[in-house]
């Protein structure tokens, strides 16, 4: 696990209870980019799920894309004052793990600066 520990400044509640997931090589349909978080695109997977995915994870050609790697859009509900470890940061969002081992995405703006 990453040593980039952060304090949650503002709690986050997931807006997407049915996350999108795909594996390397899988094809998805691409709809549009996110104005609030450039670098994210709205997709639909083969099983009909819709949600946001990092543009850098996809080889996009028109309205279709092939996944460069696997991805799971599960968000993590957090509460103010909680400590999390940042695993990865992409275009304003952070993949974090909490003290119980639960992992998911949160907006980076909800987190404090790295703890020393």
**Looking at the predicted structure, is the pLDDT value of residue 1 above 50?**
no
Q: How many other CB atoms are there within 10 angstroms of residue 88's CB atom? A: 12
**What's the pLDDT band for 116 if we cut at 50, 70, 90?**
low
- Where are the domains positioned within the chain? 4-14+74-110, 21-72
Task: Quote the CA–CA distance of 116 and 6 in Å, as a whole number.
Answer: 9
- Per residue in 16-70, pLDDT (tens digit) is 999 999 999 999 999 999 999 999 999 999 999 999 999 999 999 999 999 999 9
> Residue 71 burial (CB < 10 Å; 0-12/13-18/19+)?
buried
What are the counts of helices (DSSP H) followed by strands (DSSP E) for the chain? 0, 11
Q: Are strands 64-67 and 27-33 parallel, antiparallel or unpaired?
A: antiparallel
Q: What are phi and psi of 109, to 5 degrees?
A: -65, -20
- The arrangement of secondary structure in 4-14+74-110, i.e. its CATH architecture, is Roll (2.30)
Task: Quote the CA–CA distance of 50 and 16 in Å, as a whole number.
Answer: 9
| Two tokens, residue 105 | 């995405």
């Amino acid at each position: 696990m990453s040593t980039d520990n952060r304090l949650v400044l503002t709690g986050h509640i997931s807006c997407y209870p049915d996350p999108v997931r795909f594996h390397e090589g899988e094809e998805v349909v691409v709809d549009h980019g996110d104005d609030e978080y450039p670098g994210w695109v709205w997709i639909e997977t083969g099983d009909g799920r819709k949600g946001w995915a990092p543009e850098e994870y996809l080889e996009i050609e028109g309205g279709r894309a092939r996944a460069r790697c696997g991805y799971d859009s599960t968000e993590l509900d957090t509460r103010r004052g909680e400590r999390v470890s940042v695993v990865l940061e992409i275009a304003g969002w952070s993949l974090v793990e909490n003290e119980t081992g639960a992992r998911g995405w949160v907006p980076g703006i909800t987190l404090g600066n790295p703890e020393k």
